[in-house]
């Protein structure tokens, strides 16, 4: 298994972890216990936004640092799942966002990147499911130590610049004067371990803006205001082409789809979908 290194969290992140543990213990322990023996692999754990707002540290983190908010939340959820012998992998799905997060596709701009939004859309198209490497595990051919590198979807796969274990041993030899000071660090010599790397199932979606009135009736669909998005894990296969839904997610920036050269600076906005909520009306 890949070697794990302890990372000291700053006081702000420690406060978020404490708040997450408090929220789970006060509201969701019984739900977690009921999952014991469930044969599923992934569990989309829905958490109401109004409960998050009861904990100031979580409320601020969700609004300002949604990615870190989810990373720390998944850490706490995995701890609780392990403690209660639940063999599934939890995925946090925040639902019922405040109306302050509601936006229209035609109002989103680059300044909205990495922010949480809630949009009402019609699903125009859905790609076949595929997978990608979220964390690539590399094995050093010299010492067999493993290094984990987080990856970015639709980007060139990143690999380690050096083996930490080999580099540490070289420094020890220098301290013991077994190597000349002019020695060069060992060159990287890795092989990716497909068995130990982590993967994620995803689907690309194409959507357009949908407008509902106060009675929940669909009044307008704008094919001109389109956006792309991505759903993952338990949401794969859940959306249906032609239906209208509310998507809650994080605005991301993606390379221009038809770029003609690798360093093209053009970018488009996409939505990393965090949760899906059904609507009354359909197109």
**DSSP per residue over 67-88, as a string?**
HHHHHHHHHHHHHHHHHTT--S
Pair 89, 118 in one domain: no
Say what the pLDDT of residue 151 is: 86
The answer to whether position 67 is within a domain reads yes
Q: What is the CATH number of the domain that holds 137?
A: 2.40.50.140
Alpha helices in 154-268 (DSSP H): 164-175
Distances (CA, A) of 85 to 32, 33, 239: 9, 8, 31
Pair 90, 171 in one domain: no
Closest CA to 121 of 98, 105, 108: 105
Pair 63, 142 in one domain: no
Pair 204, 271 in one domain: yes
Pair 86, 180 in one domain: no
pLDDT at 217 over 60: yes
The answer to whether position 5 is within a domain reads no
Pair 162, 54 in one domain: no
pLDDT at 88 over 80: yes
Identify which has the larger pLDDT, 154 or 51: 51
The strand pairing partners of 87, in sequence order, are none
Q: What is the mean pLDDT of residues 224-245?
A: 92
The answer to whether position 124 is within a domain reads yes
pLDDT at 63 over 50: yes
pLDDT above 90: percentage of residues in the chain? 51
Say what the pLDDT of residue 5 is: 41
Q: What is the mean pLDDT of residues 102-118?
A: 95
Say what the pLDDT of residue 185 is: 62
Q: Which of 54, 79, 95 corresponds to the end of one domain?
A: 95
Identify which has the larger pLDDT, 184 or 29: 29
Q: How confident is the model at residue 215 (pLDDT cuts 50, 70, 90)?
A: confident
Q: Which of 61, 95, 129 corresponds to the end of one domain?
A: 95
Non-local (6+) Cβ contacts of 174 within 8 A are: 181, 183
The answer to whether position 2 is within a domain reads no
User: Which structural domain range is residue 261 located in?
Assistant: 100-283
Pair 125, 81 in one domain: no
Say what the pLDDT of residue 177 is: 65
Identify which has the larger pLDDT, 39 or 49: 49
Q: Which of 95, 112, 131 corresponds to the end of one domain?
A: 95
Say what the pLDDT of residue 277 is: 94
Q: How confident is the model at residue 182 (pLDDT cuts 50, 70, 90)?
A: low
pLDDT at 159 over 50: yes
């Amino acid at each position: 298994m890949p070697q794990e290194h302890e990372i000291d969290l700053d006081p702000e992140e420690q406060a978020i972890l404490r708040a997450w543990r408090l929220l789970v213990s006060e509201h969701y322990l019984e739900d977690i216990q009921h999952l014991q023996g469930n044969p599923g692999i992934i569990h989309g754990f829905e958490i109401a936004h109004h409960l998050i707002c009861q904990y100031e540290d979580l409320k601020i983190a969700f609004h300002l640092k949604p990615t870190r908010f989810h990373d720390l939340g998944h850490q706490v959820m995995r701890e609780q799942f392990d403690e209660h012998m639940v063999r599934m992998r939890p995925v946090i799905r925040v639902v019922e966002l405040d109306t302050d997060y509601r936006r229209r596709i035609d109002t989103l701009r680059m300044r909205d990147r990495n922010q949480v939004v809630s949009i009402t859309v019609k699903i125009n198209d859905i790609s076949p499911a595929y997978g990608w490497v979220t964390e690539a595990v590399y094995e050093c051919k010299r010492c067999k130590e493993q290094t984990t590198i987080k990856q970015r979807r639709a980007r060139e796969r990143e690999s380690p610049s050096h083996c930490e274990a080999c580099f540490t041993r070289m420094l020890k030899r220098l301290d013991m004067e077994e190597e000349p000071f002019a020695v060069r660090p060992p060159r990287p010599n890795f092989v990716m371990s497909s068995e130990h790397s982590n993967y994620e199932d995803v689907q690309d979606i194409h959507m357009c803006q949908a407008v509902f009135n106060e009675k929940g009736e669909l009044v307008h669909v704008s094919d001109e205001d389109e956006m792309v998005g991505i759903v993952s894990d338990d949401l794969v296969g859940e959306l249906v082409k032609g239906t209208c839904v509310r998507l809650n997610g994080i605005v991301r920036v993606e390379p221009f789809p038809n770029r003609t050269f690798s360093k093209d600076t053009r970018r488009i906005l996409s939505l990393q979908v965090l949760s899906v909520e059904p609507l009354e009306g359909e197109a």
